[in-house]
Amino acid sequence: MNRDITSSYVKKVITKRYVFALGVIAVLSTLALSMLHLVLKDTQNIAYVVNIAGKQRMLSQHIALDVHRVHHRHEGKDVETAKIIQRRLERLSDEMLHANTMLSSGKLSDTKEIKLTPEMQELYFGHLDIAKRVEAYVHAAKELSHAQKAQDMQKLVLFFNSESEGLLEDLNKVVAQYQKEGEADLRTIQRMENIIYAVTLITLLLEVIFIFQPMARQLTELAGEKEMFMSDLRTQVELRTLHLERANEQLNKLASHDPLTGLFNRLTFETDINLLIKHYYNHKAPFAVILFDIDWFKDVNDTYGHDVGDFVLSEFAKLLREHFRHEDKIYRAGGEEFVALLSRISVEESLMIAQKIRHVVEEHLFKIGSVMLHKTVSAGVYHTDVHSGVKNYKNIYKMTDIALYRAKEEGRNRIILVQETHEPKNSDEAHKSIFLFEDRTLCKLVEAYGPIFETTGYRAEEFVHKERDFCSLIYEADHDVLQEGALSYSKTLRIVCADGKIKIVRLNLREHKGSVVVEMVDAKLLAEGIRDAMLVYNFNAMLEKTNDFIYFKDANHLFTAASKTLLNITSAKTQEELVGATDYEVFEKEYADAYFKLEKAVFSGNVDVAQEYQPYKSVDGKEGWVDNRKYPIKDTEGNIIGLFGVARILPDKPTKTS
């Protein structure tokens, strides 16, 4: 009886001590995870702020460059180009002002806010007063974006000449301070991890000394239960150790992976690509970098919300994991940009993989709930066999990003390979070499047909081997326009030649009786061509993206241009098929009669706008109502030569028609 009472008492004591030990472990684990979660959250905010600060620094440089471009264009009487740059200058100014507001207040969004450290307070509001200087800088840029008088522009240009360099240096200090604070947070995480790990081990040790050993001594009196108790003790210790190991693995994963997609993050990419570059120079192992960007991704967030946008990003990451090789590494660079590193691969294989991904995404249906989307991707591809000699990962990323930008400019849903270029050896050569060869076409022509340039009178080798300086043959005022032209016409070989009063810029090469003939284009004509191309591109982009039914017609009631949405209510399959057709060829007669009646009112000249509420029916059977309006288009003498029409979809049936 007494033995049973003693055994029961021992069990109660053991139970109390055991529960106490588990409670200590639970409290330590909860405290550790809570503290690490708070530090990691703060670190993510710092990384985001560093990105914004870097963008603000970049914007200050772009604004300074555009200020001089506007001034230069006005001096050269090129008012149209100056207006284009002034509009861009105003947009850049708004972006920089917004970034300054976020950084100086610490309010990153409605739900995300950071507290500025005393060091950052001193930078923004202390003796440097960066916040106020940025506001003055941006307001000056806005003044110049609306300035028309040369005297006002000159005054503002002098302001930027005196302020831009100093402001850029101080913005660099802001970026450096944020990076310093971010690195300090990472060190804090490491220290906390070590401290928590040590505290946990010490706690376990103390539990063994003050709890488990007394328990073991007491259990010797209960011989039958001793082995079972020790086995349970070993199991618990192993579980705690495994829990700590898994927690450490989770922390390492959080530091190196993107939380949304599970892919590696930008920090891991920088480490891995540096190792690849080093391996390439040591062992000549070729590698490729593919930078993907989801086309029109902002429209997804704006139309369906960020939940759908996050789903598209996660689904796209899944497609990347499924279709790359096992040994390839994939990263989320930020936003809708993703990067892949491919080691020991040829140019052809890397392009095939990029094209495969493009096709897979184009055919994939992104479906979440009732939302179903089709998306496309554009990509820039860098390969060491095409462009070697680069030892800095930032340059590789920049070139790949430029190729991606070209893919966007050329219509999206395409792959662009970074082509080989001549890299200037020093700053003086970099200033002179405005036009660079993007392929070896000229060299091949020289080898095949000899150094004959009928139009120029110069030997081809003079330009190929840089014996003749391109920059010296161009009007200084045309440098930036021609440089933009060179980028726009990336598939056409450019060379600068001379004919006495030089005005050269772009040329086409063709074979003629065993010689190479250079067909030159005047700089002014090229600049006008670039502007025209930009206008056409922007116009076509609007016709592609609008939800309204937009169209243009000539005096014969024939379509000359139309939005993509208009095809949904016509029998035409393509926009090209619609051009040159009449309403009676693509609409049912009852609709065509109503449209023709309105157009007659416009072409009669009796109304400034013909408007009527009309029903419509799409090719897939959807019906609704539109507010259909037609406006006359007149020539310089006031004669009506066509019309512009827009039919806006109404949310409900109108109460009356007119």
Q: What is the structure's pLDDT at 416?
A: 92
- Report residue 289's pLDDT band, with 50, 70 and 90 as the boundaries: very high
Q: State how far the alpha carbon of 36 is from the alpha carbons of 188, 241, 262, in Å.
A: 9, 19, 19
Q: What is the pLDDT of residues 461-505, one digit of tens each?
A: 454 454 554 444 444 544 454 444 444 433 333 343 333 333 333
Distance CA 506, CA 525 (A): 10
Over range 146-175, report the average pLDDT: 81
Looking at the DSSP assignment, which residues form a beta bridge with residue 371? 368
> What does the mean pLDDT of the chain come to?
76
Q: What average pLDDT does this structure show over 354-363?
A: 94
Over residues 357-363, the mean pLDDT reads 94
Please tell me the number of Cα atoms within 13 Å of 101 on its side-chain side: 8
CATH, range 546-649: 3.30.450.20
The predicted pLDDT at position 462 comes to 52
Highest mean pLDDT among 154-158, 172-176, 622-626: 622-626
CB neighbour list of residue 248: distance below 8 Å, 6 or more residues apart: 193, 197
H/E segment holding residue 218: helix 213-219
Instruction: Tell me which H or E stretch contains 77.
Output: none
Q: Comparing C-alpha atoms, which of 236, 207, 130 is closest to residue 174?
A: 130
Residue 377 contacts residue 292 (beta carbons within 8 Å): yes
Confidence of residue 528 (pLDDT cuts 50, 70, 90): low
Res 472: pLDDT? 47
Q: Distance between CA 463 and CA 434 in Å, rounded?
A: 13
Mean pLDDT of 67-92: 83
d(CA 159, CA 649): 50
Phi, psi angles (nearest 5°) of residue 599:
-65, -35
Considering only residues 170 and 448, tell me which one the structure prediction assigns the higher pLDDT: 170
At 178 the three-state DSSP class reads helix
Residue 249 CB neighbour total at 10 angstroms: 10
pLDDT tens track for 365-397: 999 999 999 999 999 999 998 887 666 788 888
Cα–Cα dist 400/387, whole Å: 11
Burial of 258 per CB tally in 10 Å (0-12, 13-18, 19+) = buried
CA atoms within 13 A on the CB side of 421: 21
Segment 149-177 mean pLDDT: 82
Burial class, 334, CB count within 10 angstroms (exposed 0-12 / middle 13-18 / buried 19+): middle
- Residue-wise pLDDT tens digits, 185-243: 778 877 887 888 788 788 878 877 877 777 667 666 666 666 665 677 777 777 776 77
Higher pLDDT, 442 or 81: 81
What dihedral do alpha carbons 116, 117, 118, 124 form, nearest 10°? Answer: -40
Q: What are phi and psi of 423, to 5 degrees?
A: -100, 120
pLDDT at 447 over 50: no
The pairing of beta strand 515-521 with beta strand 549-554: unpaired
**Beta carbons of 618 and 626 less than 8 angstroms apart:** no
How far, in Å, CA of 218 to CA of 7, rounded? 9
- In this prediction, residue 342 has a pLDDT band, given cuts at 50, 70 and 90, of very high
Amino acid letter at 18? Y
Pick the range with the lowest mean pLDDT from 120-124, 267-271, 336-340, 654-658. 654-658
How far is the C-alpha of 110 from the C-alpha of 516, rounded, in Å?
A: 63
Residue 513 — left, alpha, or beta (φ > 0 → left; ψ -120 to 50 → alpha)? left
What is the token pair recorded at 204?
A: 């376990």
Domain ranges in the chain? 23-192, 207-256, 266-417, 427-530, 546-649
Contact 519, 510 (CB under 8 A): yes
Where does the pLDDT of residue 11 fall: very low under 50, low under 70, confident under 90, or very high at 90 and above? low
Cβ count near 607 (within 10 Å): 13
> Residue 541's Cα: distance from chain center in Å?
18
Mean pLDDT of 329-338: 91
| Model pLDDT, residue 496 | 38
Indicate if 266-417 has the same CATH topology as 23-192. no
C-alpha to C-alpha distance for 433 and 435, rounded to whole angstroms: 6
**Cα 132-48-395 angle, rounded to 5 deg:** 95
Between 621 and 508, residue with greater pLDDT: 621
Q: Which residue has the higher pLDDT, 580 or 233?
A: 580
509, pLDDT greater than 70: no
The architecture CATH gives domain 266-417 = 2-Layer Sandwich (3.30)
The whole model's pTM is what? 0.34
Q: Locate 445 and state its tokens.
A: 């022509």
* Torsional sign, CA 289, 294, 295, 298: negative
Q: What CA–CA distance (Å, rounded) separates 425 from 26?
A: 62
Report which of 114, 116, 156 is spatially closest to residue 137, judged by C-alpha positions.
156
Q: If one looks up domain 23-192 in CATH, what number appears?
A: 1.20.120
* Residue of higher predicted confidence among 188 and 358: 358
Greater confidence (471 vs 654) lies with 654
Q: For residues 241 and 367, what is the distance between their CA atoms, to the nearest angstrom?
A: 42
> Per mean pLDDT, which range of 27-31, 118-122, 162-166, 294-298 is the poorest?
27-31
CA–CA distances in Å: residue 342 to residues 288, 328, 359: 5, 5, 19
Which pLDDT value is given to residue 238? 75
Q: Is the distance from CB of 505 to CB of 523 less than 8 angstroms? A: yes
Q: Taking residues 575-589, what's their average pLDDT?
A: 87
Tokens linked to 519: 């067909």
**Residue indicated by tokens 């003796």:** 127
CB 473 within 8 A of CB 496: yes
Name the least confident of 351-365, 441-455, 569-583: 441-455
